[in-house]
Copies of this chain bind each other. A is one copy, B any other.
Amino acid sequence: MAASTRFAVAVHVLVALAYLGEQGATSEELARSVNTNAVVVRRLLGALAKAGLVSGRGGRSGGYTLARAPGRITLELVFKAIEPEGVLALHENPTNRACEVSCQIKGLLGTVFDGAQRAFEQRLRRTSIADLVGQTRART
């Protein structure tokens, strides 16, 4: 299936925020960098704020800033904040009690899915927003 692009946009926005530094940015400015709508950005940043990664302030001269150092924001944290459901899902069809496989499969799949999800997240943990900012600067 076509994966959602929300994670990619969220990382993009965070890198932009970190790139700008202290001053932060409004959802309008961030949306311009992504070439999307300000509300889309606010929705994503809302989830990131709940996870304690950014903080937003309303009012004149409001906007968003990172809530912690960019080196302490790993892509794993971003992914969990944006896609808490994970990448794999079990089917919800009722089990056929007459079939041994049907009775067992969900338990077995659950274990496998957890492992794959963990491997996926461990890999994401190796990259932080600060890393991506550094790479952006290096290529300038």
**Copies in the assembly, this chain:** 2
With a 10 A CB-CB cut-off, give which of A2, A112, A132 has the most chain B CB atoms: A112
Q: Provided the pairs A101-B19, A122-B119 are in contact, do residues A91 and B9 lie with their beta carbons within 8 angstroms?
A: yes
- Whether A77 sits at the interface, judged by CB under 8 Å, is no
Interface residues of A in 97-140 (CB under 8 A from B): 99-102, 104-105, 108-109, 112-113, 115-116, 118-120, 122-124, 127, 132, 135-136, 139-140
Known: A5-B89, A119-B120. A104 touches B139 (CB 8 A): yes
- For chain A, what secondary structure do more than half of its interface residues adopt (helix, strand, loop), or is it mixed? helix
For residues 71 through 106 of chain A, which have their beta carbon under 8 Å from a beta carbon of chain B? 75, 83, 85-96, 99-102, 104-105
* Chain B residues in 8 Å Cβ range of A12: 91, 101-102, 105, 109
B100 touches A140 (CB 8 A): yes
- List 18 A-B pairs, Cβ < 8 Å: A1-B4, A7-B88, A8-B88, A8-B91, A15-B101, A16-B99, A33-B101, A33-B102, A34-B93, A35-B93, A35-B102, A75-B112, A87-B87, A100-B140, A105-B136, A108-B132, A119-B120, A120-B123
